[in-house]
Structures are given as C-alpha cells and as structure tokens.
C-alpha cells in the first residue's frame, strides 16, 4: 500500500522553481540515521547553511535498530505509517507541508519511507543522489560516479545549488 501511495503522489504535477542559493531562505534536510559519522557530517553541513542565513528544518528516519544521536532533530519510524501507507506522524505532516526552497535528501540509497516524504513534499526543488528509478522525486539529481559517500554528496549539493 505504501508503494502505491508513493507512486500516486509522484504523478501529481507540482510547481517547480529554480530559485538561486542566495535567494533561498528555507531548506529542508531529509536523511536516514545510519551512524555517528554521518550524523556529525550532517550537523556540520547544517551549521554551514545556518551561517549562510538559511532556516533549516531537519527530519530523520530512525530504523528500529539504530541509535538516535543526541535526539537533536525530529525523527520518524516505520511504525509511524499505517496499513494503508499513510503517515500518522505529526513531524512528517509538518515537514511535508513546508514550502522549502530546497529539500536536500542526504542518503546514498533510496528508502521507501523517505520516498513517501519526497513524493508528498511541497518543496520547490528536491535535490539528492542520482537514482535512475526515482526521477519523479527530484528536480536535481547528483551522480556520484567515483566517490559514493555522504561527504561527497554534500560537497556536490553545495557546488550545484550555488550554480543555480
């Protein structure tokens, strides 16, 4: 049911905007908790965005066998989805409804629960790693041909958003 919900949402036409990085005011970050190293890299990136006067909202997927480092950001879990493939999480609903200038997906692999958020998001420009089967979820996809790690993805996101 969740996959069907995602596919239907991805088909909906949405307004897209090519706002420049300098003009962007609100940025959403979506990622899955995997380890402390990734958490620290993303924290550093968030500080950089905030230093550039961006309002940053963060939402993380927390798998049942992962640790939520610091409990610093809003998170959701698989149990926050009902049998019909709809989210029951207030954090997810609030995140989806925000009109981010950029929504940055900082994962190296696609994830079904994050796909739900990407497909439902009101963000003007969704940016993430290149996944051939997920073109409907992004306005800008980044191909990490040689260096497939979180820091490289963030570096490429910074590079390309500043070129827009």
Q: What is the per-residue pLDDT across 98-132, written as a single tens digit (0 to 9) for each?
A: 999 999 999 999 999 999 999 999 999 999 999 99
- CB distance 81 to 2 below 8 Å: yes
Pairing of strands 74-76, 126-129: unpaired
State the Cα–Cα distance between residues 44 and 50, nearest whole angstrom.
Answer: 10
pLDDT band of residue 14 (cuts 50, 70, 90) is low
- Which of 62-66's residues contact partners 24+ apart within 8 Å by CB, and which partners? 62/32, 62/33, 63/32, 63/33, 66/33, 66/34
Structural domain count, the chain:
1
Least confident of 51-55, 63-67, 77-81, 97-101: 63-67
Domain containing 22 — which CATH number? 3.40.50
Residue span of the structural domain in which 26 resides = 2-159
pTM to 2 decimal places:
0.90
The answer to whether position 94 is within a domain reads yes
- Segment 87-95 shows an average pLDDT of 97
The answer to whether position 164 is within a domain reads no
The beta-strand segments (E) located in the chain are 26-32, 55-61, 74-76, 102-105, 126-129, 140-142
Residue 63 or residue 126, greater confidence: 126
Farthest CA pair distance, the chain: 42
| 36: pLDDT strictly greater than 70 | yes
Least confident of 7-21, 63-77, 141-155: 7-21
Pairing of strands 140-142, 74-76: unpaired
| Mean pLDDT, rounded, of the chain | 90
Strands of the sheet with 102-105, listed across from one edge: 74-76, 55-61, 26-32, 102-105, 126-129, 140-142
The answer to whether position 77 is within a domain reads yes
What pLDDT does residue 104 have? 98
């Amino acid at each position: 049911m969740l996959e069907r919900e995602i596919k239907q949402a991805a088909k909906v036409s949405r307004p897209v905007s090519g706002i420049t990085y300098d003009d962007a005011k609100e940025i959403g970050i979506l990622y899955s908790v995997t380890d402390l190293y990734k958490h620290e890299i993303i924290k550093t990136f968030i500080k950089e965005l905030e230093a550039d006067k961006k309002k940053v909202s963060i939402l993380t997927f927390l798998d049942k066998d992962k640790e939520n480092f610091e409990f610093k950001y809003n998170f959701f879990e698989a149990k926050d989805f009902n049998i019909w493939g709809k989210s029951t999480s207030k954090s997810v609903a609030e995140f989806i409804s925000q009109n981010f200038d950029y929504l940055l997906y900082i994962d190296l692999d696609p994830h079904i629960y994050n796909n739900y958020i990407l497909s439902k998001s009101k963000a003007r420009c969704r940016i993430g790693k290149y996944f051939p089967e997920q073109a409907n979820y992004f306005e800008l996809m980044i191909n990490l041909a040689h260096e497939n790690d979180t820091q490289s993805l963030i570096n490429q996101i910074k590079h390309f958003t500043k070129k827009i």
